[in-house]
Amino acid sequence: MTGWIRIMGMQFQARHGALPYEQERPQPFAVDIEVETDFSRAVESDQVGDTVDYGRLYAVAARVMAGPPVRLLEALAGRMAGEVLALDGVERVVVRIRKQAPPLPGPVAYSEVEVSRHA
C-alpha cells in the first residue's frame, strides 16, 4: 500500500538568488516536500520506524536552505530532492520552493519551482 507524506509551507530565511544582494541578505522562502512511500508496515505496526520520519524531511530542507548560496531555485530544489530521495523508504519526491519576495518589476505573491524525482 503506497501513500504520500506531505510537509507543506516550511518557512526559512536564506541567501539564494541570481543577484548579488540576494546572496548577501536573508530572504523569505517557503518549502513543500512530498514523498511517496510504502505504508504497508507502518499501517500494521503503528511504529514511526516503519515510515519516513517527518523530522528527517524537515532536517533536509533546513540543511539545504542554510547551505551555500546558489543562484537558481532549480539547483536548490534539485539538491533537496536528491537528499530526500536518499532517505530510506522514499520512492518518489516532489519539492517546491517559493521565493516569497522575488526581485521582479512589479508586485507578485511569489515565484516557485517544482522538481520531482523517483527511485
Residues labelled as active-site residues: 99
The side-by-side arrangement of strands in the sheet containing 27-38 is 2-14, 27-38, 90-99, 111-118
Is the distance from CB of 81 to CB of 31 less than 8 angstroms?
no
